Amino acid sequence: MTEPRKFRCAVLSAVKHDYVARGMATHPRFELAVVADDPGVPNWAHERNQQFADAFKIPYVRDVDRALRDFDVQVAIVSPEAERHVDLSIRAAQAGKHVVQDKAAGDTAQRRGSAGRGGGAEPRQVPDVEPQFPAGSAARARANRRGRNRPKSGRSTWTSTSPRDAGPPKGSRQPGYPPTDWLAHQIAAHVDGSDGGLGREPLGELAIEGIYPLGYVRMLTGLEVRRVFGRCAAFFHQLNGRQRR
């Protein structure tokens, strides 16, 4: 019996959501071949990339294009800071690689799809796992039983309560204290590279997570969302309150 083909993967940065690459490494059809990033990323990013490469005993290359070209990879796993997802995904797609990326939806999906078609890879949006939970399936079935009445509008309240990267509670820092360094705080809060809006841009919950409510509306109704109005606020933590956008 012929052994099923294995797909070699390039991990394009491993500073955020590195559990995506770790999860794929557990699948028998995928193997991690190389970690790569651009040479100009900060030292802390190089350090995390090297640690990840050492853990899997694979090379770390400070040249994304060379890694995609010279390591015989078919898949790019994109796990950088959120603000760099699109750039690395487009470059991988243009090199003809299949792309696995967290936070794939957003205002740049059209750019990503066009780049994939131009590079020979097929762009596909993998459904988020959460709507497939029993509660999501039951809600969708209930909505479908209501017949032909098409909803005209919907409201979603999306709350993030993770305290790990939110900073001190509001009011806990006295007047005259030096301001918290946002990037340094995020790096310290996520030493395992698991999450957080790492990077130069102070991306808040609306920018990173705002696509999820739209996905739920589409899942429940089967309709395309045509217009959105949103309002955001930080209720508890001083850091997010100052950096919200």
Q: Are residue 153 and residue 215 in the same domain, yes or no? A: yes
Work out whether strand 30-36 and strand 7-12 pair parallel, antiparallel, or are unpaired: parallel
What pLDDT score does 206 carry? Answer: 63
The answer to whether position 1 is within a domain reads no
Q: How far apart are CA 150 and CA 152, in angstroms?
A: 6
Task: Identify whether 140 is part of a domain.
Answer: yes
Residue 197 resides in a domain: yes
Of 69, 97, 119, the position where a domain reaches its end is 119
pLDDT above 90 covers a percentage of the chain that reads: 30
Does residue 220 lie within any of the structural domains?
Answer: yes
**pLDDT tens per residue across span 28-54:** 999 999 999 999 998 988 999 999 999
Number of domains in the chain: 2
Checking if the pLDDT of 244 tops 80, the result is no
Q: Domain check: are 191 and 147 in the same one?
A: yes
Together in a domain, 137 and 111: no
Query: pLDDT per residue over 61-110, tens digit each?
Result: 999 999 999 999 999 999 888 788 889 999 999 999 999 987 655 444 44
Pair (135, 104) in one structural domain: no
- Provide the 10 A C-beta neighbour count for residue 81: 22
159: confidence class by pLDDT, cuts 50, 70, 90 = low
Assess whether 109 and 192 both reside in one domain: no
* Average pLDDT of the chain, as a whole number: 75
Domain boundary among the residues 98, 119, 140 is at 119
Name the region of 13 (left: φ>0; alpha: ψ -120 to 50; beta: rest). left
Residue 171's domain comprises 130-243
Same domain? 161 vs 223: yes
